Amino acid sequence: MAEQQKTASQIKQELKTQYGVNNVYGWSGYVDDPNEKPVLDLIESIAAALGLKPSFFNTIAVGEGLNVYVDNSYDPNPPHMVITDQQVSGFNVLGTDDFGSEFVRYKKYLPDSYNEGNSKADLLNDAEFIQDTRINELGQQTQSAIFKDLESALWAFGATLAHRKDRFLAKAKALGYGKPTDDQLAYWTYVYYQGEGNAARWLQANRGLDYNTNKAERGMVHTLALERVATWRYMLTKNIFSQ
């Protein structure tokens, strides 16, 4: 059966079987309508600037909460485009829980003009973000961020994702593991996004790039990473993004 003749359910079931997961998500629904084009355009441009595949960028972003922003940001007035100039909580949307405290690590990935403010008033002027103290799911205090708009938030998310990808590639090279496949790159980038320290230890203990080795040690992160890879592959069948 040709790919274009398969139903969405058939494609999802094939991906579930291929990657051994229970869930493949239809996350194209947040960028596939004309009124969502502002979100699509931001993802395309920022991903391109950071050397990331926009389809993968979107998959991880929606998995971290971008859908929450989109669902609550349609303009009530026709043509009901997604509004992108509202302030964004990096803690509630995009999973940038530590962006405030780790901003210095991501600066090289961001535009030179990307700067930090001191108060919410600064977000109305030139500041891209201010720090925001939150308590994460582990009961730990984190320094997240409030961003002036969706573009600033997506730049922060993209910088974090690009940083984690580079950290994975550097570690894999140091370990002599060779060049990853696209699936391996997607899997380990997500694992690194979830926690660089654990990811580096798991990668070394793995003795290679095969993401099914020592999978029990990685627990839920392993399952989520495989779901992200499978969902990303499903996203590619929609031909929404340039790559």
Quickly tell me which residue has 């894999």 as its tokens: 172
Paired residues of 88 in beta bridges: 147
DSSP H helix total and E strand total for the chain: 10, 3
pLDDT tens by residue, 212-229: 998 989 999 999 999 999
Distance between CA 56 and CA 47 in Å, rounded?
Answer: 9
Domain residue ranges of the chain, discontinuous segments joined by +: 11-236
Q: What pTM value is reported for the model?
A: 0.94
Supply the pLDDT for residue 30: 94
pLDDT tens by residue, 139-162: 888 899 999 999 999 999 999 999
Do β-strands 141-147 and 88-89 pair in parallel, antiparallel, or remain unpaired?
Answer: antiparallel
Supply the pLDDT for residue 140: 85
Higher per-residue confidence, 200 vs 92: 200
Model confidence at 1: pLDDT above 80: no
State mean pLDDT over 171-194.
97
Distance between CA 96 and CA 197 in Å, rounded?
Answer: 16
Reported as a pLDDT band with limits 50, 70 and 90, residue 4 is: low
Residue 29 is classified by DSSP as G
Select the CATH number that applies to the domain covering 11-236 from these four: 1.10.530, 2.30.30, 1.10.3470, 1.25.10. 1.10.530
Percent of the chain with pLDDT over 90: 88
Supply the pLDDT for residue 139: 83
